Amino acid sequence: MLRPILILALMALLILYLRQPSSKSSPILPKAVRTSIKHQQPPPKNGRTVAVGDLHSDLEQTLAVLRLAKVVDADSNWSGGYDTLVQTGDIVDRGPDTIAVYNLFDKLRKQAKDAGGKVVNVYGNHEVMNLGGDLRYVTEEDYASFGGRQKRKEAWDVKTGWLGKQIYDNFNITHVQNGHTVFSHGDMEPEWARLGAETLNLLSREAIWKGDFRNAPIFHGTGKCFLALTKEKEREEDENGSICMEFGPIWSRTHATQEDGMEETCKSVDAVKKALGVNRLISGHTPQYRTGKILSICNGGYMVIDVGISKYYGGHLAALEIIENDDGTQSVYALYPGGKRLV
């Protein structure tokens, strides 16, 4: 007698159950819990990578190019969030604003870090010249801004000077970004690349700390080792791939000028890419002021981002932007005041 009633009761329960609003419109978690979970989500993995070339003590143009690249706001503060900003050296010389531009980068380095981003500085030949006392391109306004020649000399001391220490602590001769892009001021030649980025950085740091600016093979730009090598020994060293015989990474222009022809240049670029396991090499140093545009050759394997940003070189604005795609590739753009172009 009880069974039909039981069945009816079960059916009623089933109907009630099915009429329950779905869990979508009635979230199981209270709002506060949901909010805290949302906040625990990790930050986006990769911001953009933005790179700018030689700045030559020109604060106005430096701010203009960093604003163009959207890593600095109208108040000259970091606005790049998780982005990485790479500057490929030659902040100093030819212009008046040496102190202001180095201090801007020092401020941005801290602000970027707080925001989850990063500022990377790479040595140019002019940084190394100034650290080594080669002051051929220092302007009178620059001397005055330091309070005279003696004060300037003290400031640039690597061990005791405020600017020398700032540079030593934060610059490297090369930087590998996210394993796919190598930055150096001059061109990276295969003989140097084979040593690996870390060794190059350690070699340059050691030379700078020791004050060995003129003789250290890594810095010289003449193709001579400054060691009294015989002609025969030179050739042997060359064949052995010695670092002594090659242009150092702050001076070389062999890729930028394609002095051995395009085919040889791209062969050399490919050898460097292979040695460092990267997709592209980015240099400053050889100003593209005739075009004011980023030079890209060897199928985007090599680019020059020194477009002559400072007024001394014509005041051309351009920055490089690298976007990380979901499939592990990168999209590379040139940013100009007139717009953004794939390079």
Ligand X SMILES: *[C@@H]1O[C@H](CO)[C@@H](O)[C@H](O)[C@H]1NC(C)=O
| Residue ranges that bind ligand X, judged by CB under 6 A | 75, 77, 170, 172, 198, 201-202, 233, 236-237, 240
Identity of the residue, 115 or 266, whose beta carbon is nearer to ligand X in the bound complex? 115
In the chain, the amino acid numbered 96 is P
Identity of the residue, 183 or 333, whose beta carbon is nearer to ligand X in the bound complex? 183
C-alpha separations of 179 from 176, 312, 324 in Å: 6, 34, 12
The β-bridge partners of 324 are 330
* Residues in contact with 7: Cβ distance below 8 Å, sequence separation at least 6, in sequence order: none
Shortest CB 201 distance to ligand X, Å: 3
Instruction: Give me the residue whose beta carbon is nearest to ligand X.
Output: 201
Identity of the residue, 233 or 253, whose beta carbon is nearer to ligand X in the bound complex? 233
In the chain, the amino acid numbered 339 is G
Identity of the residue, 189 or 237, whose beta carbon is nearer to ligand X in the bound complex? 237
Shortest CB 202 distance to ligand X, Å: 6
According to DSSP, the β-strands at 181-184 and 175-177 are antiparallel
Identity of the residue, 225 or 320, whose beta carbon is nearer to ligand X in the bound complex? 225
Contact, 100 vs 125, CB < 8 A?
A: no
Identity of the residue, 139 or 170, whose beta carbon is nearer to ligand X in the bound complex? 170
Shortest CB 69 distance to ligand X, Å: 18
Identity of the residue, 113 or 149, whose beta carbon is nearer to ligand X in the bound complex? 113
Shortest CB 91 distance to ligand X, Å: 15
- Which pair of structure tokens corresponds to residue 282? 């980015």
Phi then psi dihedrals of residue 93, to 5 deg: 80, 150
Shortest CB 172 distance to ligand X, Å: 4
DSSP string, 211-256: T-TTT-TTT--SS--SS---HHHHHHHHHTT-GGGS--TTT--HHH
Supply angle C-alpha 136, 138, 142, rounded to 5: 165
Identity of the residue, 150 or 240, whose beta carbon is nearer to ligand X in the bound complex? 240
| CA–CA dist 273, 299 (Å, integer) | 13
Shortest CB 148 distance to ligand X, Å: 29
Of 146, 142, 176, 185, which is closest to residue 53 (Cα–Cα)? Answer: 185
- Which pair of structure tokens corresponds to residue 342? 């794939």
Euclidean distance between the first and the last CA atom of the chain, given in angstroms as a whole number: 84
Shortest CB 198 distance to ligand X, Å: 4
- Which pair of structure tokens corresponds to residue 114? 């707080």
- Which pair of structure tokens corresponds to residue 324? 């990380």
Shortest CB 196 distance to ligand X, Å: 9
